[in-house]
Structure 1
């Protein structure tokens, strides 16, 4: 299937389950994998920006045996309605980092011959560092998007042999990344749910795994 066909099917899918695509950040310079970012503006029903990749699923990921159904993926991240999304604003990394993280994460499985699946985490850099000077987030948690029709949105059948799955990225603090490695995604989800973490990035949210005075 040609890229143009795939892109149109992804756009149609997004507009069916999320909303009208208001803007596209086209990839100007790319290698074999070209990843555009589709933007759905805030609405009264979904009062935040939704950014979704288009292009990551052009190539299959290297999945383990038995997971062939999950070879193709696109990613999304949700930003507050006050977030600055423009070429001028993106000159400041404090505005651009979620977009950079989205694009970097989309390339990761293809670059390193691996895969992404719900519950996976990725860290920013080696050594690990915050995405921006004004945030403590140091990695991403891959999870199922919180949309009205989760099952419908999660699966996009391109043809009889190719189904694209959509995941959302939730930024995590370093302590949360460590906690997930030690205790697993379900325990981390419990921690995140307790403090009300949603799909929408909250740059000032609490750290769900921060130790207080070393007591716990």
Structure 2
């Protein structure tokens, strides 16, 4: 992690910029963080003019993000989040805001990425039981003057970003269509810079859309963002490697549904007649990059719930096993190296050995699952 500490003048400039634009700093929490990243967090209390708290990191910008030589955004940033005046940071129902502020400071340096306007993060479940908000976007903060939140310092350009929570429908729309289009759709300004756990949604799923969304178990869209933002130097088709591996395993074990086989059976025959069964193009073009629960029969669905469900708390997890396999192939040092950008699974050679090695892993988990089912029956 490349570190360039703020000079005394820079820190004074930052505090001046914060107080001129966001409010008077009333308190600074020192050395907040974990692992190798510790920084301060400034707290701005509610006022008559701005009746909400604002928490702002102080020190994230001392660490350079992985920029991919993109001159359109800064390699240095500080993050902020605004909270209503009745927000209780000591209540476990409210700590998610500070937790996510700190998690977002950690991500670029651990996963060799960088933030820019419109960056999206998905929590995959509501932040707590009192809200359905489940995702975050980084936007330019609201400023007193026409400014994107960019502060030019003597040693760096420092970009401030506001963390704004989103609902799943909004996140999905922004992921597919861009954050700008979501904001254009939000004519009633429902997306608020101050966290409102019960705000109205900009758009809602229809019953059909909700059913389709709940049917997705994994999607290339969940991985393509990191692929492009990190400048992964492998063919894009590698995004579909692990999806194709699981689909092939399900096919060979007769776990595909009758409806799926009616729709794609002839195409599968074409692929299975090849020396090496490579289903990646089928997943990418015919299945639109998605693996869906409805592709599988009843037994397959139950096994998926056990082994391939992002919402199911279980030690056996297929995407996790893919990552563990990559770590075993590359070794721990290279796995965590900047070269692989914490996306080592995309750099694996997609060949029969990869499939057979993962087949052995999946078979082992499947047999374990069967034994657990048998023990429940007894």
TM-score, normalised on structure 2?
0.51
**2:180, 2:20 → 1: CA distance?**
30
In structure 2, stretches of 5+ residues that fail to align are 211-378
Q: Secondary structure of 1:190's match? A: helix
Partner of 1:184 in structure 2?
178
Task: Describe how 1:115-126 pairs up with structure 2 within 5 A.
Answer: 115-124=114-123
8 Å contact from structure 1 (residues 33, 55) kept in 2: no
Partner of 2:127 in structure 1?
131
Partner of 1:211 in structure 2?
205
Deviation at 1:65? 2.4
**1:131, 1:26 → 2: CA distance?**
25
Within the candidate set 54, 57, 78, 1:53 is matched to 57
Partner of 1:196 in structure 2?
190
Q: Please state if 1:16 is matched with 2:20.
A: yes
**1:30, 1:212 → 2: CA distance?**
41
Partner of 1:154 in structure 2?
149
- When you count helix as a share of all residues, which structure comes out higher? 2
Paired residues, what number?
A: 206
Within the candidate set 168, 174, 189, 1:174 is matched to 168
TM-score, normalised on structure 1?
0.85
8 Å contact from structure 2 (residues 137, 164) kept in 1: yes
Deviation at 1:212? 4.2
* Range with bigger deviation, 101-110 or 182-191: 182-191
Within the candidate set 79, 83, 95, 1:79 is matched to 83
Partner of 1:104 in structure 2?
103
**1:7, 1:31 → 2: CA distance?**
23
Q: Secondary structure of 2:17's match? A: helix
Q: What do residues 85-141 of structure 1 show as CA deviations (whole Å, max 9, x unaligned)?
A: 3xxx2xx321211111111111111110100110110112xxx22222222121111
**2:197, 2:187 → 1: CA distance?**
16
Deviation at 1:75? 0.7
**2:168, 2:5 → 1: CA distance?**
40
8 Å contact from structure 1 (residues 195, 206) kept in 2: no
| Alpha-carbon distance change, 61 to 28 in structure 1, aligned in 2, over 3 angstroms | closer
**2:72, 2:94 → 1: CA distance?**
36
**1:110, 1:213 → 2: CA distance?**
39
**2:33, 2:79 → 1: CA distance?**
20
| Alpha-carbon distance change, 59 to 196 in structure 1, aligned in 2, over 3 angstroms | same
8 Å contact from structure 1 (residues 7, 55) kept in 2: no
Partner of 2:276 in structure 1?
none
8 Å contact from structure 2 (residues 190, 199) kept in 1: no
Q: Secondary structure of 2:117's match? A: coil
| Alpha-carbon distance change, 175 to 154 in structure 1, aligned in 2, over 3 angstroms | same
Structure 1 residue ranges, 4+ long, deviating more than 4 angstroms after superposition: 212-216
The RMSD of aligned alpha carbons is: 2.2
